[in-house]
Amino acid sequence: MLCRACRRAIALPKPTNTIIAKAPLSSLSIATRNDALRSAPRVQVSKAIRPLPQFNLRSISKRSYSSATETATALEKPDHLDDAESTIWDKLVAEFTPSELIVQDVSGGCGSMYAIDITSAKFKGANMLKQQRMVNAVLGDMMKQWHGVQLRTKAPQ
């Protein structure tokens, strides 16, 4: 089972750049550490610090604010969903227009248990039990065939 943060991280696009970490000097042997310190370039502090460039505030264009229709954009369906996950996704998006939605088959591929994490404005003012009953009403026919479901609902803040 994956936590909410891990499921969100999986859903994010993978970065193209890789970062290579260097070992700290304290983990190197004394001879290697001394060589590394001797070969390190020396920088004068006065040359390394530069003032920030000054901007002409009159030349910067005013920020345009988005309209309400632009903020209520539909979620983009991930391409890694299988057919059953895609059906669940479509039903939930059609009913709740969620701001966040994660649908994942956690049964190991047999399609009998799903983890659903949904955030929707339709949940505002409803307690957790009412929120989950709303989701159960939408997915009721499908849920009868499942072994179980991990359902997390919340209203946006």
Q: Which CATH number does the domain housing residue 135 bear?
A: 3.30.300.90
- Does residue 28 sit within a domain? no
Contact status, residue 75 vs residue 101, Cβ threshold 8 Å: yes
- Does residue 19 sit within a domain? no
Q: How confident is the model at residue 120 (pLDDT cuts 50, 70, 90)?
A: very high
**pLDDT computed for residue 55 by the predictor:** 52
**pLDDT computed for residue 67 by the predictor:** 45
- Does residue 118 sit within a domain? yes
67-99 pLDDT tens trace: 444 444 668 889 898 899 999 999 999 999 999
Reported in sequence order, the residue ranges of 1-154 that DSSP labels E, i.e. its strands, are 100-105, 113-119, 148-154
- Does residue 41 sit within a domain? no
Range of the domain at 104: 78-154
Tokens of residue 93, six digits: 């998006």
Residue 151 has pLDDT above 70, yes or no: yes
Residue that wins the pLDDT comparison between 149 and 70 = 149
Helix (H, G, I), strand (E, B) or coil at 103: strand
Contact status, residue 131 vs residue 153, Cβ threshold 8 Å: yes
27-39 pLDDT tens trace: 555 555 555 555 5
- Does residue 130 sit within a domain? yes
- Does residue 34 sit within a domain? no
Prediction pTM value: 0.54
Residue range 104-127: mean pLDDT, rounded:
92
**Average pLDDT, whole number, for the chain?**
75
Domain tally, the chain: 1
Residue range 53-62: mean pLDDT, rounded:
52
- Does residue 33 sit within a domain? no
Q: How confident is the model at residue 1 (pLDDT cuts 50, 70, 90)?
A: low
Residue that wins the pLDDT comparison between 66 and 41 = 41
- Does residue 38 sit within a domain? no
Percent of the chain topping pLDDT 90: 42
Of the listed ranges 35-44, 95-104, 107-116, the one predicted with least confidence: 35-44
Contact status, residue 146 vs residue 112, Cβ threshold 8 Å: yes
